[in-house]
Amino acid sequence: MSAVLLDTNAFAMVLTDDPRLPLEARERIGEADRAILSVISLVEIGQKVRLGKWPEMVPFAAGLLDRATADGFDLQPLSPSAALAAALLDWEHRDPFDRMIAVVARQEDLLLIAADTAFDGLGVERLWG
């Protein structure tokens, strides 16, 4: 069984059919038995919309949960152990959302679909294009 975890930006690109999502990433998502989204991505999108930092996502914010499930994404809850591991992760990267996504990918041994090279070197397999 193949499963992939999408970083928040990758999920947003799928949601908006953004042509910047590389073909290789798009194909792996489509071929996966499970396409997974961490619930922390819902928090990240909602917070950035609320703060005016992601205007492109405003039309999607209110129906984000319904859209994610309708599009076949499995929502991965954030466990207490993942939350603590993200907080304690020895990583210079300070983005709390990326920290939690990285830990989920590590704990669940998932291929991470993400453009951000900051994930490299964490023991996480990352694919972009």
Provide the number of structural domains found in the chain: 1
Which tokens belong to 128? 């972009």
- Whether the pLDDT of residue 115 is over 90: the answer is yes
- CA torsion angle 41 103 86 94 (round to 10): -70
Residues spanned by the domain of 64: 3-127
**Per-residue model confidence as pLDDT tens digits over 23-57:** 999 999 999 999 999 999 999 999 999 999 999 99
- DSSP 8-state class, residue 73: E
The string of pLDDT tens digits covering residues 5-31 is: 999 999 999 999 999 999 999 999 999
State the Cα–Cα distance between residues 68 and 65, nearest whole angstrom: 5
58 vs 13: CA distance, rounded Å: 14
Question: pLDDT-derived band of residue 102, with 50, 70 and 90 as boundaries?
Answer: very high
Q: How far apart are CA 58 and CA 21, in angstroms?
A: 20
Q: Provide the CATH number for the domain around residue 35.
A: 3.40.50.1010
pLDDT in tens, 69-101: 999 999 999 999 999 999 999 999 889 999 999
Q: Which of 118, 122, 128 is nearest to 103 (CA)?
A: 122
